[in-house]
Chains A and B, each alone.
Chain A
Amino acid sequence: QKEVEQNSGPLSVPEGAIASLNCTYSDRGSQSFFWYRQYSGKSPELIMFIYSNGDKEDGRFTAQLNKASQYVSLLIRDSQPSDSATYLCAVREGQNFVFGPGTRLSVLP
């Protein structure tokens, strides 16, 4: 099975800072990439998806994709304590989704 890798963290940032979450994937043929947020004890919720190289912005969130480097990242601007959660990177392989191990983000007030 193809792999999706993330730094498990925890990543700690002060409130108001930019949080940068990174993900690498092994399947060069992957075309669809996703970021999910999972609060403790809750199920994952989709934050963003990206298909094309470059940046995609949605509010405080920016996803960045570099297919040549097989790298996708998520930037969270003006981080808030409510952003504290585990962030899961996922890659579509055929009909299935392969998830990374997740990065735990802690935003300190």
Chain B
Amino acid sequence: SAVISQKPSRDICQRGTSLTIQCQVDSQVTMMFWYRQQPGQSLTLIATANQGSEATYESGFVIDKFPISRPNLTFSTLTVSNMSPEDSSIYLCSEVRGTDTQYFGPGTRLTVL
């Protein structure tokens, strides 16, 4: 299994501000992902965090709104910028080990007022 930590675990933020979420994994991995899970919904992939290069964003997500850093093989951050209430969600990072085994972090529960 994998040990993945995320900080903060939850936060309440004001509209128009930004929040940076940190994700730390316990061993070097090539693939890390960031997902959003809105209340009662499934997981939507935001982007793939690539080490040493820009993240690869999915349709509907842009770098200006969700900048991602991946400075090394064990750490990544996701920033939610200029937040609105529609950004209230759970944000999850994940890593893939071996071919297909994906492990998720505990999530960050974000509420935007």
A: which residues have CB within 8 A of B? 1, 32, 34, 42-46, 49, 88, 92, 95-102
Contact = CB atoms under 8 A, between A and B. Distances in A.
B80 interface: no
A9 B44 CA distance: 20
Contacts of A42: 106
Given A1-B59, A46-B102, A99-B44, 12 more contacts: A32-B100, A34-B100, A43-B105, A43-B107, A88-B42, A88-B43, A92-B100, A95-B31, A96-B45, A96-B48, A97-B102, A101-B41
A100 B42 contact: yes
9 pairs of A and B residues whose beta carbons are closest in the complex:
A43-B104, A99-B43, A101-B42, A99-B42, A43-B107, A102-B42, A32-B100, A44-B104, A43-B106
28 contacts: A1-B58, A1-B59, A32-B99, A34-B100, A34-B102, A42-B106, A43-B92, A43-B104, A43-B105, A43-B107, A44-B92, A45-B104, A88-B43, A92-B100, A95-B31, A95-B48, A96-B45, A96-B48, A96-B58, A97-B33, A97-B45, A97-B102, A99-B43, A99-B44, A100-B42, A101-B41, A101-B42, A102-B42
